[in-house]
């Protein structure tokens, strides 16, 4: 459908910014206050065009809808806005395109495990194209909340614990959605969320308060957002949480001072779902009017779902409580993105005759990303890859054959597009060589429809220790030469409002491991989950562990091809895996303390050290860790100069050798540490990474260019500075190993 709105006739289309600005001014000057407040309001979840909705849009009272409706509904709403409203201002139609749309992709945490921004960009390009064709112009993605607490279920939706890695992934995702030009009909606007600090929820409990020193806020939590701002992201979403007592959706420091004044962001900010109205529950507003005032003053341009802006905006302005200019600014920010999207200039509304289906090309991309995100955590006695003739395999665990669960939380893709590991194995080996048991009771409980029924169901599923499915599973395992066990989380165990107090394998899974181990057969374990899990005791009984997250529709073939060695695992952890939930928060870029514990040397036996009595202080698996079927050796790290002046550059390099017998990819990582500065610096900080492919026996010099600017941090005066001093640099396979080189940065 071609939209030819009246504005196109009044003002010629310009790609220049000033062209857009003058068109915005022309339009704003004609808008009534109600129409302005309408632009600042987003209506929700229409699955059909109701008379009430039609009326609101016709009267210019909604600037956006967020719709799970059909493409036809979306096209009709857009038609009403552009053809039947007084000013013909198009809607911006948003949706949660989180990890794929028609073609599903792995959950973002799994994407981060690939450490392959180029591939992530290619995949989000597909998601952008598919959703644009479906009449969507704006996605509420990427989520780039730094998460250092795996109890928080939304860790699944982001890129893990590190600001640099998360920033690279978020930028790649934005570039994929937004394409070369936002105005291209197959581009959609990205929305970076949740601004900001949401992942630091106390106790890992969703929506909970966060307490974040401003230095950490700037250098950790805000970093990926800043990177996407630099990359031209169109919008941000303000978060649910309070930061140091001030809700993120009415926070003048983050939204006004940092985002607008310092970063000069000129797109728009939408609140999270009813987050404006929730300012009342937070306890910083006593009415919807006060909530609207505080949110607008702080810089939330558009209100999602709740309607405090449209209800109270006029009274706030007329009583002098709210400066009209702030409303105009918000409207400008929203219109700017609509112009950039080409919505005023005949951007097609999508609406293909038949809904596009995933293609072999898009599924191949999904498969590749799922494969690159697989992290091999353990592989003893060459358990993997499987030999070509492996005999009979017993596949145990419902997750081996769940088309829904492998898609993960926030999946938009049709589960029928999923190929499960069991299906992929049977296709490869023939059904006769693969025996299967779910390990679960024959009749699996379903949620009841009563209030709280869904939560009761999830709690039971997570805590039920029933062994009812064990006899069949053990019988099945007995018949086979090898046991391939699928453990982990159903998709609803992670994601929004899915916090857990325990990170252990759900239900009776650890008991199942113990029972099957008694058979003495090789036990290969694939863990699918939306978060790091703790399985310290069970791991000892396993010969190999492949961490597969929720890998999307092609998780099955990606896992099976990897188990058989057609592909060599290369994923690395984007988040630290604790030994037990009691170590949380645990992350690699912590400070040293005055009494660091040690694994060797005198610190290892000194009682008065920062450690635990009952468990090692180290994680189960560190950030950046992941094994391969081949072995990579790293030389000592070299630095091109021992002294760099401020503003200077140096090259950090190391030789990486594939010392094993298989070709494979290795994700080579660069970390630095400043030994002494005005405030304590993390023991290591990730500054770069490269995925390199090495043939057996091949040695490659892997180099990184480092500027002294890359070593800057926010000091106690909130200035972003590189302080002179001594530094160490590691080129290493993970965040804990490697032999550092050293250098000095001058004044």
What lies within 8 Å, CB to CB, of 32 at 6+ separation is 60
What lies within 8 Å, CB to CB, of 116 at 6+ separation is 369, 372, 691
Count of C-beta atoms within a 10 Å radius of residue 22: 13
Task: Give the residue with the Cβ less far from ligand BGC, 265 or 273.
Answer: 273
**Separation CA 450–CA 528 (nearest Å):** 30
Element (DSSP H or E) covering residue 310: helix 308-318
- At 627, list the tokens: 């094994």
Q: Does 122 bind ligand BGC (CB under 6 A)?
A: no
Task: Give the residue with the Cβ less far from ligand BGC, 134 or 272.
Answer: 272
Buried b (16+ CB within 10 A) or exposed e, 671-691: bbbbeebeeebbbbbbbbbbb
Smallest separation (angstroms) from ligand BGC to the CB of 362:
23
Smallest separation (angstroms) from ligand BGC to the CB of 219:
24
Q: Does 272 bind ligand BGC (CB under 6 A)?
A: yes
Count of C-beta atoms within a 10 Å radius of residue 360: 7
- Residue pair 157/210 in contact (Cβ under 8 Å)? The answer is no
Q: Does 236 bind ligand BGC (CB under 6 A)?
A: no
Contact set for ligand BGC, span 80-99 (CB under 6 A): 96
What stretches of 108-222 adopt beta strand conformation (E)? 138-139, 191-195
Task: Give the residue with the Cβ less far from ligand BGC, 272 or 561.
Answer: 272
Q: Does 140 bind ligand BGC (CB under 6 A)?
A: yes
Q: Does 588 bind ligand BGC (CB under 6 A)?
A: no
- At 358, list the tokens: 């995933």
Tell me the backbone φ, ψ of residue 236, rounded to 5 degrees. -130, 155
Tell me the number of residues near ligand BGC by CB under 6 A.
6
Smallest separation (angstroms) from ligand BGC to the CB of 277:
13
**Separation CA 425–CA 431 (nearest Å):** 8
Smallest separation (angstroms) from ligand BGC to the CB of 96:
5
With tokens 């929004």, the residue in question is 496
**Separation CA 745–CA 725 (nearest Å):** 5
What lies within 8 Å, CB to CB, of 178 at 6+ separation is 128, 187, 188, 189, 190, 232, 233, 234
- Residue pair 310/331 in contact (Cβ under 8 Å)? The answer is no
Q: Which of the residues are catalytic?
A: 272
Task: Give the residue with the Cβ less far from ligand BGC, 207 or 629.
Answer: 207
**Separation CA 359–CA 95 (nearest Å):** 22
- Residue pair 633/734 in contact (Cβ under 8 Å)? The answer is no
Smallest separation (angstroms) from ligand BGC to the CB of 588:
26
Task: Give the residue with the Cβ less far from ligand BGC, 140 or 344.
Answer: 140
What lies within 8 Å, CB to CB, of 539 at 6+ separation is 377, 378, 545, 620
For ligand BGC, the nearest residue by Cβ is 140
Task: Give the residue with the Cβ less far from ligand BGC, 161 or 272.
Answer: 272
Task: Give the residue with the Cβ less far from ligand BGC, 158 or 506.
Answer: 158
Residue 723 DSSP class: P
Smallest separation (angstroms) from ligand BGC to the CB of 139:
9
Task: Give the residue with the Cβ less far from ligand BGC, 23 or 531.
Answer: 531
What lies within 8 Å, CB to CB, of 79 at 6+ separation is 1, 349
Smallest separation (angstroms) from ligand BGC to the CB of 79:
24
Q: Which of 236, 273, 339, 713 touches ligand BGC (CB under 6 A)?
A: 273
Contact set for ligand BGC, span 170-199 (CB under 6 A): 193
Lay out the site mask for ligand BGC across 450-489 (x = CB under 6 A, - = otherwise): ----------------------------------------
Task: Give the residue with the Cβ less far from ligand BGC, 193 or 332.
Answer: 193
Smallest separation (angstroms) from ligand BGC to the CB of 135:
17
- Residue pair 563/385 in contact (Cβ under 8 Å)? The answer is yes
With tokens 């632009």, the residue in question is 39
Closest CA to 193 of 264, 139, 121, 258: 139
Q: Which of 21, 423, 496, 744 touches ligand BGC (CB under 6 A)?
A: 496
Smallest separation (angstroms) from ligand BGC to the CB of 157:
7
Q: Which residues bind ligand BGC (CB under 6 A)?
A: 96, 140, 193, 272-273, 496
């Amino acid at each position: 459908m071609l939209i030819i709105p009246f504005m196109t006739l009044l003002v010629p289309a310009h790609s220049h910014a000033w062209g857009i600005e003058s068109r915005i001014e022309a339009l704003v000057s004609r808008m009534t206050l109600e129409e302005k407040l309408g632009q600042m309001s987003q209506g929700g979840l229409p699955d059909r065009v109701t008379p009430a909705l039609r009326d609101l849009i016709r009267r210019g009272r909604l600037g956006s809808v967020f719709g799970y409706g059909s493409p036809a509904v979306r096209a009709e709403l857009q038609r009403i806005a552009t053809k039947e409203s007084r000013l013909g201002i198009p809607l911006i139609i948003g949706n949660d395109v989180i990890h794929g749309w028609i073609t599903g992709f792995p959950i973002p945490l799994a994407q981060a495990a690939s450490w392959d921004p180029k591939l992530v960009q290619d995949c989000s390009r597909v998601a952008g194209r598919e959703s644009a064709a479906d009449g969507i112009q704006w996605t509420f993605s990427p989520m780039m909340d730094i998460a250092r607490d795996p109890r928080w279920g939304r860790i699944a939706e982001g890129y893990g614990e590190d600001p640099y890695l998360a920033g690279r992934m978020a930028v790649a995702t934005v570039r994929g959605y937004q394409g070369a030009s936002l105005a291209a009909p197959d581009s959609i606007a990205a929305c970076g969320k949740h601004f900001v600090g949401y992942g630091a929820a106390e106790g890992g409990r969703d929506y909970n308060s966060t307490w974040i020193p401003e230095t950490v806020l700037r250098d950790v939590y805000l970093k990926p957002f800043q990177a996407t701002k630099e990359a031209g992201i169109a919008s941000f979403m303000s978060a649910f949480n309070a930061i140091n007592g001030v809700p993120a959706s009415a926070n003048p420091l983050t939204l006004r001072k940092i985002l607008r004044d310092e970063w000069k962001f000129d797109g728009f900010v939408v609140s999270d779902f009813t987050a404006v109205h929730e300012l009342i529950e937070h306890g910083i507003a006593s009415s919807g009017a006060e909530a609207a005032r505080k949110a607008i003053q702080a810089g939330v341009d558009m209100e999602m779902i709740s309607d405090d802006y449209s209800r109270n905006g006029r009274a706030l302005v007329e009583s002098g409580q709210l400066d009209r200019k702030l409303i105009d600014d918000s409207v400008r920010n929203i219109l700017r993105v609509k112009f950039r999207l080409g919505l005023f200039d005949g951007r097609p509304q999508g609406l293909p005759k038949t809904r596009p289906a995933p293609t072999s090309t898009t599924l191949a991309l999904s498969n590749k990303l799922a494969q690159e995100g697989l992290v091999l955590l353990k592989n003893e006695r060459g358990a993997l890859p499987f030999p070509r003739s492996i005999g009979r395999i017993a596949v145990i665990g419902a997750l081996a054959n769940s088309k829904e669960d492998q898609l993960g939380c926030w999946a938009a893709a049709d589960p029928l597009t999923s190929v499960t590991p069991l299906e992929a194995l049977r296709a490869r080996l023939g059904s006769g060589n693969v025996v299967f048991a779910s390990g679960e009771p024959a009749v699996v409980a379903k949620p009841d429809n009563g209030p709280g029924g869904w939560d009761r169901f999830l709690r039971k599923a997570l805590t039920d220790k029933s062994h009812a499915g064990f006899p069949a599973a053990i019988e099945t395992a007995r018949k086979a030469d090898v046991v391939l066990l699928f453990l982990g989380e159903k998709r609803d165990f992670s994601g929004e409002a899915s916090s857990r107090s325990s990170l252990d394998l759900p239900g009776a899974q650890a008991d199942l491991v113990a029972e099957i181990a008694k058979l003495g057969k090789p036990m290969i374990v694939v863990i699918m989950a939306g978060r790091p899990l703790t399985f310290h005791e069970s791991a000892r009984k396993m010969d190999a562990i492949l961490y597969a997250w929720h890998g999307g529709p092609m998780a099955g073939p990606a896992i099976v091809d990897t188990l058989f060695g057609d592909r060599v695992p290369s994923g690395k952890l984007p988040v630290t895996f604790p030994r037990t939930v009691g170590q949380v928060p645990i992350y690699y870029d912590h400070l040293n303390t005055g009494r660091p514990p040690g694994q060797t040397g005198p610190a290892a036996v000194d009682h008065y050290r920062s450690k635990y009595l009952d468990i090692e202080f180290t994680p189960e698996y560190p950030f950046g860790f992941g094994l391969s079927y081949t072995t990579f050796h790293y030389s000592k790290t070299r630095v091109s100069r021992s002294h760099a002046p401020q503003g200077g550059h140096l090259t950090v390099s190391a030789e990486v050798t594939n010392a094993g017998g298989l070709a494979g990819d290795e994700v080579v990582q660069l970390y630095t540490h400043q030994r002494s500065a005005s405030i304590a610096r993390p023991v290591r900080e990730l500054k770069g990474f490269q995925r390199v492919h090495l043939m057996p026996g091949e040695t490659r010099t892997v180099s990184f260019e480092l500027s002294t600017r890359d070593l800057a941090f926010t000091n106690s005066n909130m200035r972003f500075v590189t302080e002179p001093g001594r530094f160490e640099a590691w080129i290493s396979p993970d965040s804990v190993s490697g032999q550092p080189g050293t250098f000095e940065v001058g004044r």
